[in-house]
Amino acid sequence: MTAVNIALTPRRIDPSVDHEIAAIVTGSGQGETCNTDLAAAPWSFDTVPGYGPGASEGDVIPTGAPRQGELPREYREADEAELDARITAAKATLGERVVVLGHFYQREEVVRHADYVGDSFQLANAAKARTDAEAIVFCGVHFMAETADLLSGPDQAVILPNLAAGCSMADMASIDEVEQAWEELADVYGDLDTPDAEGLLPVIPVTYMNSSAAIKGFVGRHHGIVCTSSNARTVLEWAFERGRRVLFFPDQHLGRNTAKAMGVPLEQMPMWNPRKPLGGNDDATLEDARVILWHGFCSVHRRFSVSQIDKARAEHPGVRVIVHPECPMEVVDAADEAGSTDYIRKAIEAATEPTTFAIGTEVNLVQRLAAEHPQHEIFCLDPVVCPCSTMYRIHPGYLAWVLESLVAGEVVNRITVPADVADPARVALERMLAAKPPAAPAAAWEQAS
């Protein structure tokens, strides 16, 4: 870690990525964006299958992925100031009856209305703590709203302002694919529910929080556990105490980065491609495996590269590079530190001297951190402005619509997890909460909290 003293005059930075994209598209701003359609309103894409413009636009969306119906015209035609005022007024009317949760990757125009801002698990816990709220409006993506529903009370309604806000990474592991993989692994390892002479199961399924409730339920039914980017090492330690190996999904990078830091050799981390028999492996490879990595990734974090880090170091001597562990292994290895969104936020808050930070995570968070800490130079490693496609689908227009619907006594866009899925999914989450941290983390980023 290297901090550098630089003479910085406090700057005023517009934290709004929307404003920056609009300026780039009209030619009044500098830089480039990955898709000029990002300057259009998200409802332009509600009827079109796909994730929409942004980092996930090239990913294949599953057939049957939720679509958002047409947003009423009054919200589509309202300008930023009107929507801001309507959201503020609706929240004031609803008072303690509603809690609005905003993920770190949400646009500034939404985050400013959030009662809590955090990562997916922090927000799910915030939802759990607000037992007085009748409605939980989750400004994030679909799996986060499902998790909030799992952890909140039965009489609380969890609302996702735009049903098209999925997550391309979560969609890369469907329940059908995972069940198929489990059957194929049983052909290799035998009975997956019976421990061997040393009390270890052949394989423990571990799913990242960024997965559907159905996948969390699968994991809960099969002796497995959920992890976050903050506690992945703790969870893998838990799994290795109970099994010979781990099937980790959906994010190969978080699995690889975590297991590598624990000393698992790369050759014992085969990839499981759900479109190939045995995931594209042979029996011997799977027998020798310690961590079987699902072929999934986050298209936001896959954009970061070693060449971007090299460029940042060349142009900003002494720069401190922090990336998210969803980035590819080479990027994590080249960075000074890697950690969850909360780790990144706390690392910047803890810096007492003016410092230059190059950050490898979603641009909305980076832009907001830069605005909040003008004493530091903070920039996104990716020079192309390319937000998460699905986070981007939550716009103040949808937030105003769901809140004003609540004022009118109507719950729209409720997310409900059926009981047969919810019960085992909660078991998998409870195992995670009960898992104890390892005695000695092997890398700085694993201390993220």
Stretch that binds ligand SF4, among 10-18, 64-72, 294-302, 342-350 (CB under 6 A): 294-302
CB burial string 301-324: b at 16+ within 10 A, e below: bbbbbeebbeebbeebeebbbbbb
Q: Given the complex with ligand SF4, which of 118 and 202 has the nearer CB atom?
A: 118
CA distances from 92 to 206, 390, 396, 405 (A): 41, 28, 16, 14
Q: Given the complex with ligand SF4, which of 16 and 390 has the nearer CB atom?
A: 390
d(CA 405, CA 71): 12
Residue among 33, 35, 56, 162 that touches ligand SF4 (CB under 6 A) = 56
Q: Judged by CB under 6 A, does residue 169 bind ligand SF4? A: yes
Stretch that binds ligand SF4, among 25-33, 35-43, 220-228, 298-306 (CB under 6 A): 298-306
Q: Judged by CB under 6 A, does residue 35 bind ligand SF4? A: no
Q: Judged by CB under 6 A, does residue 141 bind ligand SF4? A: yes
Question: At its nearest, how many Å lie between ligand SF4 and the CB of residue 228?
Answer: 12
Q: Judged by CB under 6 A, does residue 299 bind ligand SF4? A: yes
DSSP state string for 19-62: HHHHHHHHTSS-SEES-GGGGS-GGGGTTSSS--SSTTTTSPPP
Q: Residues near 425 by Cβ (< 8 Å), separated by ≥ 6? A: 150, 213, 216, 217, 219, 220, 417
Q: Given the complex with ligand SF4, which of 127 and 298 has the nearer CB atom?
A: 298
End-to-end CA separation in angstroms for the chain: 18
Q: Judged by CB under 6 A, does residue 391 bind ligand SF4? A: yes
Residues that bind ligand SF4 (rule: CB under 6 A) add up to a total of: 14
CA distances from 66 to 45, 57, 165, 167, 175 (A): 13, 16, 8, 11, 16
Residue among 388, 406, 422, 429 that touches ligand SF4 (CB under 6 A) = 388
327 has binding-site annotation = no
Extract the tokens encoding 222.
């099969």
Residue among 106, 210, 258, 367 that touches ligand SF4 (CB under 6 A) = 210
Which residues does residue 385 pair with via DSSP β-bridges, in sequence order?
33
CB 364 within 8 A of CB 105: yes
Question: x-or-dash pattern for ligand SF4, window 328-367, by CB under 6 A?
Answer: ----------------------------------x-----
Q: What stretches of 81-224 adopt beta strand conformation (E)? A: 98-103, 116-118, 135-139, 157-159, 204-208
Q: Judged by CB under 6 A, does residue 167 bind ligand SF4? A: yes
Q: Judged by CB under 6 A, does residue 404 bind ligand SF4? A: no
Q: Judged by CB under 6 A, does residue 298 bind ligand SF4? A: yes
* Residue positions forming the annotated binding site for [4Fe-4S] cluster: 167, 298, 388
* Residue positions forming the annotated binding site: 103, 120, 167, 208-210, 229, 298, 324-326, 341, 388
